[in-house]
Amino acid sequence: MYVVESKGGAIACMLLALIFLGTWPAILTLLERRGRLPQHTYLDYSITNFLAAILIALTFGQIGNSTPEMPNFLTQLSQDNWPCVLFAMTGGVVLSLGNLSTQYAWAFVGLSVTEVITSSITVVIGTTFNYFLDDKINRADILFPGVGCFLIAVCLGAAVHSSNAADNKVKLDSLSSDHIDAAKVSNTSMIPNEAASKDLENGNDPAQKAKAGTAGFLVQLENRRSIKVFGRNTYIGLGITFFAGVCFSLFSPAFNLATNDQWNTLKTGVPHLVVYTAFFYFSLSCFVLAIILNITFLYHPVLGSPKTSFQAYLRDWNGRGWALLAGLLCGFGNGLQFMGGQAAGYAAADAVQALPLVSTFWGILLFGEYRKSSRRTYILLFGMLFMFITAIAVLMASSGHRK
């Protein structure tokens, strides 16, 4: 099989994973803001997310000859390695819960703040676990100052959300003098209009709409989106975000235990799970839980999402291609992260949690996040991103090499 062994190869995997993992949340946010139901989107996403794991296992996991110490993917499926398989599947369960939660958190808190807070919590908790599980192969004097920077970024992220929510309240209070006509614009996102110019966020919406950052823009967005947030307590979004962050912080340590068996759960002579086998089981449990929960949410929706049905999901092709693409990006991103982590240490591989830098770029470019916000919000946003960039640089510098 193909195994990443050099530090340079591991960092290359991390950087590519960073781009993939930072882009798929923007795609799912795009669909929610167009009005596509999150249950439909996540079902599509889950299918290709699992497909990516199968493709990685059957390609990278099958290259070359199998050896007793490092068997290929198909060879290892029949071996007695269930204790480590259960660790991998546990990681998939918590990742699925985290991804599902963030789909709702994006609507309440925004793409940028959600990703920064969840990623920072992931690093603060998950990286600490991985450091000790990896037998301290990463430099502690560099690693933990980076973790401290992430912790500061969490606090700044919460402050950015609070400040931006206050800015939006002021805008809505002044709606009578700020694009009041825009509030009367009907939701026409499903009506094609080839003659009118279009933009990426609104799909088939005419480009004649309220400017990003205005009260009219906020009202148009609320009318169009599938998850309604007006009038809800802002702490709901933060609560969902922190829950997702805790879930994310556990999946990498669980995967680490699955591939390296630090707790000696395997029988004598049974080889450790290779990355590709562990990733297959990891993605399988993630897929099964996502299917069960989202089919349940079709008939018993949460947080004000409309009720739907499995038949309606099968007929809903609006945005399905984007959802399927998001699943592939996330699947390949996770696979690359684990391939790099097995070589350079999973604590250092948590550097891919810099994905909010990519997500924030998409949030500002596509969705007009923080347009016409207060100076205080901009200062907090700059501080949050600065601390995040600093933390990522420090974390990558702590990379070690697994013996």
Domains in the chain, number: 1
Tell whether the model's pLDDT for residue 186 goes beyond 50.
Answer: no
Question: Taking every pair of C-alpha atoms in the chain, what is the biggest distance, in angstroms?
Answer: 75
Q: Which residue in 133, 372, 336, 149 sits closest to 254, CA to CA?
A: 133
115-124, 227-236, 304-313: least confident range: 227-236
> Which pLDDT does position 371 carry in this prediction?
77
- Tens of pLDDT, residues 354-383: 777 787 777 777 776 777 788 888 898 888
Q: What is the C-alpha to C-alpha distance for residues 63 and 21, in angstroms, rounded to an integer?
A: 25
Domain-located, residue 2 = no
Tell whether the model's pLDDT for residue 339 goes beyond 50.
Answer: yes
Token reading at 113? 């703040």
Q: What is the C-alpha to C-alpha distance for residues 113 and 356, in angstroms, rounded to an integer?
A: 8
Tell whether the model's pLDDT for residue 174 goes beyond 70.
Answer: yes
Domain-located, residue 19 = yes
Q: For 69, phi and psi rounded to 5 degrees?
A: -80, -30
Domain-located, residue 374 = yes
What lies within 8 Å, CB to CB, of 355 at 6+ separation is: 18, 21, 22, 25, 115, 119
Average pLDDT (379-390) is 84
Q: What is the C-alpha to C-alpha distance for residues 389 and 383, in angstroms, rounded to an integer?
A: 10
Domain-located, residue 202 = no
Q: For 207, phi and psi rounded to 5 degrees?
A: -70, -10
Q: Can you give 321-351 as a three-state secondary structure string?
A: HHHHHHHHHHHHHHHHHHHHHHHHCHHHHHH
Q: pLDDT class for 92, splitting at 50, 70, 90? A: very high
Q: pLDDT class for 177, splitting at 50, 70, 90? A: very low
Question: How many other C-beta atoms are found inside a 10 Å radius of the C-beta of residue 61?
Answer: 25
Tell whether the model's pLDDT for residue 206 goes beyond 60.
Answer: no
Domain-located, residue 187 = no
Domain extent, residue 301, equals 7-65+81-179+210-398
Q: What is the C-alpha to C-alpha distance for residues 1 and 19, in angstroms, rounded to an integer?
A: 25
What is the SS3 assignment for 216? Answer: helix
Alpha carbons within 13 angstroms on the beta-carbon side of residue 184 total 5
Q: pLDDT class for 245, splitting at 50, 70, 90? A: very high
Domain-located, residue 338 = yes
What is the SS3 assignment for 195? Answer: coil
Q: What is the C-alpha to C-alpha distance for residues 373 and 212, in angstroms, rounded to an integer?
A: 11
Token reading at 175? 């709606």
Q: What secondary structure does DSSP assign to 357-377, as a single string?
A: HHHHHHHHHHH-TTTT--HHH
Domain-located, residue 1 = no
Domain-located, residue 192 = no
Q: What is the C-alpha to C-alpha distance for residues 335 and 326, in angstroms, rounded to an integer?
A: 14
Q: Which residue in 46, 88, 17, 83 sits closest to 275, CA to CA?
A: 88
Report the residue count for the chain: 403
- Tens of pLDDT, residues 8-65: 787 788 888 888 988 998 899 889 888 899 999 999 999 999 999 999 999 998 987 7
